[in-house]
Structure 1
């Protein structure tokens, strides 16, 4: 008896391995995947501008990075003792204008460097709803709790999203023709926009994205169905967090395993198991830290770390 529908997946060509260099951009769900990749010590850069929810914000970051357009004083502002930029998440805000501008421009440079050498770019789209600054008429990435009176809310049309995503792919390949772009739609429901509005938003993203991917060679962009896995395979509130909006740890682990089966090279699985053993060992808390047994455990763990770092010098273990 079959009690679950499953989304068909394939093992993609050009999979991710420990020689791959990854760039992850987009909504909070891309950070769920990014945290898994970080845990297993893959080479990756994750959201240098913080969480970016909509296509325009991601396109803007990539475009400014490639074009070396540094941020100027006129593009940042102070509110409640902190300095912000409408193009970046509040996690990137700073206590001074100088620090913020320095951080933003260093992140642009870091993004460009990663774009030039990346093998895989994972982009997660969260919403088609955006806020436009009434003064500048520019769509912002984050409102930073500025009064909603200062913005106009709008739903990006399918055609506008298609143009933005097509431009994004072209920008990436203008600086790195061989980079594999992996798109996914975030399974996080943006219910603050409303139930029907969230469905409308996701449908615009999905339709636009598939429209772009179907009009290009398959190698230029590929879709991973994280949204569909959450909606069709995990159709139960026990897979959501307490807010009933975000996937919980169990759901994230489930989708990660699906991503791993599709995108991670099977030749990397043994190394992943070695890394996992070390990570669990580092998290271990001994009842008696001074015991001979624990000292032997620490020595053995350090030997495993040394052996692994000899093969993969970029790995870091905290």
Structure 2
């Protein structure tokens, strides 16, 4: 008896992920789990450089930040409950020192960019179409950082909005790495 499911790669996709080239993973907490397994198996991976993010708009914005190689300045961060946060990043990158937090976030973006330029694959894991839009700034946030719910307006992305975000993501990535394979889960 076989006590496992054997999965063979689709024809033409053998070697899509290899130990010889970096793989970038962006998205939900599933990405953290898969990335940890890949890291344990000695793959060269960059896993969730913004922390877990779930909706297509936030994932697109994160990938745009990677492609553009943006720098997070201390002025981009806001204080809340004794720490400095960014609405682009998960709280794992927040910190008590504004400068150090901004540097850590910028370092993650630049590591991800360097990997993306040479990556064989980008794996994107989505989790929801529900988004929270900051009332004052008007932007969809990747993380609310336990700010009062009155600071945000909850919305559900339409199919067209999701499609636009994901098509934009693919186009952006292809500008810096035209041969990359993009896998959505």
TM-score (norm 1): 0.54
Deviations 1:264-303 (A, max 9, x none): xxxxxxxxxxxxxxxxxxxxxxxxxxxxxxxxxxxxxxxx
Q: Secondary structure at the match of 1:16?
A: coil
Name which one, 1 or 2, has greater alpha-carbon Rg: 1
Take 2:16 and 2:74, find their aligned partners in 1: how far apart are those partners?
42
Take 1:162 and 1:9, find their aligned partners in 2: how far apart are those partners?
29
Task: Indicate the residue corresponding to 1:91 in structure 2.
Answer: 92
State the Cα distance separating 1:59 from its structure 2 match: 1.2
State the Cα distance separating 1:30 from its structure 2 match: 1.2
How many residue pairs were aligned? 178
More strand by share: 2
Take 1:140 and 1:21, find their aligned partners in 2: how far apart are those partners?
28
Task: Indicate the residue corresponding to 1:154 in structure 2.
Answer: 155
Greater relative CO (CA pairs within 8 A, separation 6+): 2
1:111 and 2:112 correspond: yes
Take 2:17 and 2:74, find their aligned partners in 1: how far apart are those partners?
39
More helix by share: 1
State the Cα distance separating 1:10 from its structure 2 match: 4.8
Q: Which runs of 5+ in 1 are unaligned?
A: 1-5, 185-318
Q: Which runs of 5+ in 2 are unaligned?
A: none
State the Cα distance separating 1:20 from its structure 2 match: 2.8
State the Cα distance separating 1:109 from its structure 2 match: 0.9
TM-score (norm 2): 0.91
Deviations 1:184-236 (A, max 9, x none): 0xxxxxxxxxxxxxxxxxxxxxxxxxxxxxxxxxxxxxxxxxxxxxxxxxxxx
Give the RMSD, CA atoms, in angstroms: 1.6
- Aligned residues of 1:62 and 1:111 also touching (Cα < 8 A): no
